[in-house]
Structure 1
Amino acid sequence: MAEEYDYESLGNNTSMGQNALAGAFAGVAEHCAMYPVDSIKTRMQVIQSGRPTVPTTPVVNSTVTHPSFKAASRNLWRGVNSVVLGAGPAHALHFATYEYCKEAFVGNEEHSTIGFATAGACATLAHDGLMNPFDVVKQRMQLRDSTYRSVRECARQVYLKEGLGAFYISLPTTLAMSVPFQSIQFATYEYFRKYLNPAGDYDPKTHVIAGGLAGAFASSVTTPLDVAKTLLQTRGSSHDPRIRNATGFWDAMSIIKQRHGLRGFFRGYKPRVLTNVPSAAISWTVYEYFKWFLDTHESARKVSQDKSLIRL
């Protein structure tokens, strides 16, 4: 008879290493799958100086009408190597921290929104501290007029021209966005997972739906903070002196308000939501699958070893 596993208890049974490995797979899958849409979102969020030499054609239209659609499509993947390099370790740390903190803050409670949200916030602090420099490089390379040919060249040029601080100037803003984003996402995901699948059985359909809903809600609420983060992370590539000298979160928010009013805080809203819905669905589905896969195979190996010892 096949060995049965209680999926609902896997969070307690899986080791820190298994959670980290599953998280690494989830992070790479999440970011790579929707990377072109994320590039479009970045370009839509960038605030131009208003100079007549700067193209004003919407980024989506300019991509579609590019002389070579194949080249334009390839252009949208520029900087993806930075995501691959950073997302694996960062998401490994992210999900391992989340599982550890969830066990500490939630335990055996059936419903603990605050506990899930707090665990998500702790996981975000660990993730963003590691991922922020890679995200800066990624967004610099995503810009339409970017001339960087590799991740290494981009990182080197940013460091030489702007110093180490350029990789972290957006970190406070990133945390101001990511902590509520991830807290909302984790709490929403856990709520819908419990609601859609009270039995707690392994069910990919549940993870897809709950993850997508969590991504949609969290990205909608935090878009204004994401616009400010993009301004700070791409300031060194701007032709506008005011943007190039932006000093932090409140300065970025002031620039956005002055240039575009309240509507400016929702630049790139649609592609951001379109990115986060499938990204979150993919991330949670891949993460839950690999967590289940690693634990069941480890459990099966132990059962096999025990049977061998009994025969001896």
Structure 2
Amino acid sequence: MATEATTAKFKNPDFRPDFRPEISVTSHDGLHYWQFMIAGSIAGSVEHLAMFPVDTIKTHMQALRSCPIKSVSVRQALKSILKTEGPSGLYRGIAAMGLGAGPAHAVYFTVYEVAKKYFSAGNPNNSAAHAISGVFATVASDAVFTPMDMVKQRLQLGNSNYKGVWDCVKRVLREEGLGAFYASYRTTVLMNAPYTAVHFSIYEAAKKGLMEISPESASDERLVVHATAGAAAGALAAAVTTPLDVVKTQLQCQGVCGCDRFQNSSISDVIKTILRKDGYRGLMRGWIPRMLFHAPAAAICWSTYESCKNFFQDLNDCSSSSIIT
């Protein structure tokens, strides 16, 4: 009887286990904005730096050269990079990633937390609020990250003849102008908006579902919950948005290492070029490494972010206790 009663309570959407507040999805409320920024910055940096070699492989697979080329597998792309540049080739452009990931993710998570609080209206299970908040977050963070992402992708193509981050920045400014840094911004936003909407919705729903499976041990397994929910959200969202990611890579790498140069930043023109040279499969170039990147990257990012938030929550609680005492 006791077991049936407990099960019935957890099936009741109005039931709130007040005696177990640690499993509540709103347990991190009350952090300062600067704490969200630091947590997001650390999470984003750890995520991208840890998964950078996979991102390099994806970029090589998506960069369409000036003549029709045969699709290559992950293994072929990896062997090519290692043969021509050695292991260090997997890390070309990592400095640009380091410079862009921290600030961009600080903006990303801060905007997300603020928007989620505003749109959810006190309901932590509002999936629409999570999706909308994610879109706001990505529009803001992409404005910060896109220039360094362009530099990063150009450096990842080993034969680009750029000596480093600042050499790339100076040459692009001199030869192509400031607009080149944002040539892919519209595409990036159009890609990341649905990606983030799907990602955050799945993450929040999966996190809630996993916590409810075993509420008595939810606190002890919180890190596993965040990692699992993040991996599922990252993999699905990455697969759905791969075609736009291919377009983004084309715009960012145009004119480098024999890649096509486009007259404007029209997404339709890029898609037509890809279809003409490589067919519909060209729009899915790099989908495997993209999923291999985003699944563990999201797991790393969310678990790191939530751990940092836990740290700041404990810090704030200690500070409050000291003041009261």
Aligned partner (choices 304, 307, 310) of residue 322 of structure 2: 304
SS at match of 1:12: coil
Residue 12 of structure 1 deviates from its aligned partner by 2.0
Deviations 1:215-273 (A, max 9, x none): 00100000000000000000031535x53435321111111111111111000110000
Is contact 1:235-1:246 (8 Å) kept?
no
Residue 46 of structure 1 deviates from its aligned partner by 0.5
Is contact 1:8-1:201 (8 Å) kept?
no
The question of 1:194 aligning with 2:212 is answered no
Matches within 5 A, 1:248-263: 248-263=266-281
Q: Which amino acid aligns with 1:91?
A: H
Q: Determine what percentage of the aligned residue pairs are the same residue.
A: 37
SS at match of 1:9: coil
TM-aligned CA distance change 1:214 to 1:55, over 3 Å: closer
Residue 160 of structure 1 deviates from its aligned partner by 0.9
Q: Which moved more, 1:290-299 or 1:28-37?
A: 290-299
In structure 2, distance between residues paired with 1:167 and 1:265: 23
In structure 2, distance between residues paired with 1:67 and 1:196: 40
In structure 2, distance between residues paired with 1:79 and 1:180: 27
Is contact 2:229-2:299 (8 Å) kept?
yes
Aligned partner (choices 6, 16, 40) of residue 57 of structure 2: 40
Is contact 1:31-1:83 (8 Å) kept?
yes
Aligned partner (choices 73, 76, 82) of residue 61 of structure 1: 76
Pairs aligned (count): 300
TM-aligned CA distance change 1:268 to 1:161, over 3 Å: same
Residue 65 of structure 1 deviates from its aligned partner by 6.3
In structure 1, distance between residues paired with 2:80 and 2:150: 28
Matches within 5 A, 1:193-272: 193-198=207-212, 199=215, 201=219, 203-239=222-258, 243-272=261-290
Q: Which amino acid aligns with 1:259?
A: K
The question of 1:78 aligning with 2:72 is answered no
In structure 1, distance between residues paired with 2:72 and 2:282: 17
Residue 75 of structure 1 deviates from its aligned partner by 1.1
Give TM-score, length-normalised by structure 2: 0.86
Q: Which amino acid aligns with 1:50?
A: C
The question of 1:144 aligning with 2:158 is answered yes
In structure 1, distance between residues paired with 2:82 and 2:235: 34
In structure 2, distance between residues paired with 1:29 and 1:289: 13
Query: Which blocks of at least 5 consecutive residues in structure 2 are unaligned?
Result: 1-19
Residue 306 of structure 1 deviates from its aligned partner by 2.0
Residue 304 of structure 1 deviates from its aligned partner by 2.2
Is contact 1:186-1:214 (8 Å) kept?
yes
Is contact 1:232-1:246 (8 Å) kept?
no
Residue 56 of structure 1 deviates from its aligned partner by 8.6
Residue 68 of structure 1 deviates from its aligned partner by 6.3
Corresponding residue number in structure 2 for 1:111: 125
Is contact 1:82-1:135 (8 Å) kept?
yes
Residue 303 of structure 1 deviates from its aligned partner by 0.7
Corresponding residue number in structure 1 for 2:30: 13
Q: Which amino acid aligns with 1:88?
A: G
Query: Which blocks of at least 5 consecutive residues in structure 1 are unaligned?
Result: 308-312
Corresponding residue number in structure 2 for 1:23: 40
In structure 1, distance between residues paired with 2:32 and 2:191: 29
The question of 1:282 aligning with 2:296 is answered no
Deviations 1:197-221 (A, max 9, x none): 1357470000010000000010000
Is contact 2:38-2:106 (8 Å) kept?
yes
RMSD (CA atoms):
2.3
